RNA sequence: GCGCUUGUGGCUCAAUUGGAUAGAGCAUCAGACUUCGGAUCUGAGGGUUAGAGGUUCGAGUCCUCUCAGGCGUACCA
């Protein structure tokens, strides 16, 4: 239900009938229950333009607002706010209408776009570390969300598989022998470290490594084969992590750096032709605005840089993938880089003017002391280790409360532990740095996945206990049911906002508010007690069922499984 | 040096993009069980939104300066 746009239409009609012109009508949620459900704050601006008293204008508008359907009551308050109360019967009808809807009342966008979401982007030379967590799950949520809303999403995993370090790695792989290497490849950190040791201790090895870099680039078959087997092994690690994280990235979504390799000279040619780049100190550079430091697109030795690859990728995504919107889910620290690359791409005509280019930046994960997240000895924390730890902790927590069989416990621990980490990450507004705290993540209190899971399990428990058909209409009988019904209908507005701004935390905040309201409803309004009449019982069962459906769908978009029992 | 960015109760985070008395959760204190799962709910205390000016009907949000962090700054990605 697009409540806000429905209300906008009503207000627009009222304004027209009152002979007032307004360009855009923005409806916002009421800040307090006593101010109603929604409010329109635009009158103050209009009054300024018309040079009239805002309260006077608000009263004029008020007279023309249709209060026969959706709206129950309107009121002018403060300097000129128009407060809006929705009608109970309307809420009841609308919620009843979506009881059987698998999309729980969420429609599809009118104009679907083709959206490229670039996320995860691990480096093949190393194991995935905690830094990849945010990109992977924020990107995946965005992709799932846009798809659900009807856009055509193209996932792109821009893996780092090209560069000088690969010479060293494949030389080491060759030395181990392609058959005997499987053991050491299990841990890429170890593999990398050993390769580095060889590189430093042996002049022959180092020369060979450098030689191999050139050979891969020139397409030497033997080296490419070694390289490919190394990439396959490394990608295998990533796929295990994606599997564990419930992140929907497949092999066919991989479009690696190496893919763009042969397009790089063309990028330079285009930039030269258009007079965008110049030669400076032997390197091909782009100077933007008044910036003194350039963006280097080709090194003085002829090598290319990541800006060049990104330009080639932008060109490909525009020309071949024909994207309307391209989202880069990458660390916020690369903001300048993307700003520059986007500017160059548009200037050079590599991307059409109409394409929306967005850097979906996110903050860094910190430890409890507010420092960048590291292991005790200062190394990077491997993502698998962190996730495994979360599962272990979840298992301990669940075990304390209820008796489960060992298999059930393991399965529960997996979905709950991983879900808790994901939820905690997604619930923070993405651009700020955040402090990683596993205990808080696996807590049942506050805005955590377990609080949602608990509410869901409670609802399922009621339905099991009822153990019969649930039918009939929803009736909105009191203030708390009014709030609950309204929250349920707000799901679509929430998802739209989240998609537009690429902010997963909009969804978690909504779910938390929904569940909080549901918990209050649950306390105040008994469902299965004997003294509740049949129609009320059914209505409340329906409300509970619908709440469960929305929680499930919401968590599903975040890539988190719900469980019927905790 | 230049550029970008952040600063919100003791702690961790919000604030519908300029709207009403800045909201939650931890923690603290006080309540509610003949439990539809108490892993819950109700309430209280705790804030000059780093500081100082400015813009206007109205500022956590916009502008200027100061203070304190973080990040980026010519051939890594």
pLDDT tens for residues A197-212?
Answer: 999 999 999 999 999 9
Strand order in the sheet with A71-77: A27-29, A38-40, A81-86, A71-77
Contact indicator for A61, A43 with CB cutoff of 8 Å: yes
| Residue A281 contacts strand B, CB under 7 A | yes
Give residue numbers, 500 to 529 of A, with CB < 7 Å from strand B.
501, 503, 505-506, 509, 512, 516, 519-520, 522-523, 525-529
From the CA of A79 to the C1' of B20: give the distance in Å. Answer: 8
Q: Which residue is nearest to nucleotide B57 (CA to C1')?
A: A79
Helix A491-501 and helix A505-524, axial crossing angle in degrees, nearest 10: 160
| Residue A282 contacts strand B, CB under 7 A | yes
Give percent of chain A above pLDDT 90.
81
Based on the number of CB atoms within 10 Å of its own CB, is A281 exposed (0-12), middle (13-18) or buried (19 or more)?
Answer: exposed
Nearest nucleotide to the CA of A369, by C1', is B11
Q: Give chain A's mean pLDDT.
A: 93
Give rounded-to-5 percent helix, strand, coil for chain A.
55, 10, 35
Two tokens, residue A540:
């409340």
pLDDT tens for residues A407-451?
Answer: 889 999 999 999 999 999 999 999 988 889 999 999 999 999 999
DSSP A104: T
Give residue numbers, 41 to 70 of A, with CB < 7 Å from strand B.
41, 44-45, 48
- Dist CA A379 CA A130 (whole Å): 11
Q: Which residue is nearest to nucleotide B7 (CA to C1')?
A: A432
State ipTM: 0.96
DSSP A117: E
Nearest nucleotide to the CA of A293, by C1', is B74
Contact indicator for A135, A119 with CB cutoff of 8 Å: yes
**Residue A400 confidence (pLDDT):** 79
Which domains, and CATH codes, for chain A?
Answer: 3-86 (3.30.1360.70), 165-242 (no CATH), 449-557 (1.10.730.10)
pLDDT (mean) for A534-552:
96
Count of CA atoms in the C-beta half-sphere (13 A) of A136: 27
- In what helix (H) or strand (E) does residue A362 lie, and over which residues does it extend? strand A356-362
- Dist CA A308 CA A296 (whole Å): 8
On strand B, nucleotides with any atom < 7 Å from a protein CB are: 3-6, 12-17, 19-20, 24-27, 36-42, 57-58, 70-77
> Is the pLDDT confidence value at A121 over 90?
yes
> Is the pLDDT confidence value at A178 over 70?
no
Among candidates A196, A212, A305, which has minimal Cα distance to A261?
Answer: A305
Contact indicator for A561, A555 with CB cutoff of 8 Å: yes
- Dist CA A27 CA A8 (whole Å): 6
């Amino acid at each position: 239900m697009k409540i806000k746009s429905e209300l906008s239409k009503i207000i627009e009609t009222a304004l027209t009938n009152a002979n007032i012109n307004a360009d855009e009508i923005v409806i916002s949620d009421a800040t307090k229950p006593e101010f109603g459900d929604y409010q329109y704050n635009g009158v103050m601006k209009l009054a300024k333009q018309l040079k009239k008293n805002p309260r006077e204008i608000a009263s004029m508008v008020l007279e023309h607002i249709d209060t026969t359907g959706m709206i129950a009551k309107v009121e002018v308050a403060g300097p000129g706010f128009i407060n809006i109360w929705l009608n109970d019967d309307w809420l009841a009808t609308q919620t009843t209408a979506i009881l059987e809807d698998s999309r729980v009342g969420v429609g599809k966008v009118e104009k679907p776009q083709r959206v490229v979401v670039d996320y995860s982007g691990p480096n093949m030379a190393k194991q995935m570390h905690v830094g990849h967590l945010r990109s992977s799950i924020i990107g995946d949520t965005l992709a799932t969300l846009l798809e659900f809303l009807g856009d055509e999403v193209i996932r792109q995993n821009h893996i780092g598989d090209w560069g000088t370090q690969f010479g060293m790695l494949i030389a080491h792989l060759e030395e181990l022998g392609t058959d005997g290497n499987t053991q050491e490849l299990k841990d890429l950190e170890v593999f990398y470290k050993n390769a580095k040791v060889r590189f430093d201790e042996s002049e022959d090895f180092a020369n060979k490594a450098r030689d191999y870099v050139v050979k891969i680039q020139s397409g030497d078959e033997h080296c490419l084969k070694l390289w490919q087997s190394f990439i396959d092994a490394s990608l295998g690690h990533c796929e295990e992590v994606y599997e564990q994280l419930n992140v929907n990235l497949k092999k066919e979504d991989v479009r690696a750096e190496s893919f763009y390799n042969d397009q790089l000279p063309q990028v330079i040619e285009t930039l030269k032709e258009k007079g965008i780049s110049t030669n400076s100190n032997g390197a091909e550079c782009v100077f933007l605005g008044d910036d003194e430091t350039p963006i280097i697109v080709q090194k003085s030795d002829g090598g290319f840089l990541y800006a060049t690859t990104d330009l080639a990728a932008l060109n490909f995504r525009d020309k071949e993938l024909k994207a309307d919107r391209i989202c880069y889910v990458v660390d916020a620290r690369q903001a300048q880089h993307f700003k520059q690359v986007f500017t160059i791409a548009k200037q050079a005509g590599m991307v059409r003017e109409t394409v929306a280019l967005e850097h979906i930046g996110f903050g860094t994960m910190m430890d409890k002391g507010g420092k960048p997240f590291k292991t005790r000895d200062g190394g990077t924390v491997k993502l698998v280790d962190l996730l495994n730890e979360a599962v272990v902790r979840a298992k301990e927590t669940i075990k304390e409360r209820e008796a489960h069989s060992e298999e059930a416990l393991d399965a529960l621990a997996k979905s709950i532990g991983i879900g808790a980490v994901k939820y905690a990450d997604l619930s923070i507004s993405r651009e700020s740095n955040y402090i990683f705290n596993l205990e808080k993540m696996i807590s049942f209190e506050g805005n955590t996945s377990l609080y949602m899971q608990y509410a869901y399990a409670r609802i399922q428990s009621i339905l099991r206990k009822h153990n019969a058909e649930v039918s009939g209409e929803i009736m909105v009988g009191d203030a708390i049911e009014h709030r609950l019904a309204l929250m349920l209908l707000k799901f679509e507005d929430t998802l739209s906002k989240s998609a537009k701004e690429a902010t997963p935390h909009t969804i978690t905040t909504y779910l938390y508010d929904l569940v909080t309201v549901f918990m209050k409803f649950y306390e105040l309004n008994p469902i299965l007690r004997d003294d509740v009449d049949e129609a009320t019982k059914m209505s409340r069962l329906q409300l509970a069922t619908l709440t469960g459906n929305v929680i499930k769908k919401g968590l599903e978009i975040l890539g988190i499984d719900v469980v019927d029992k905790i």
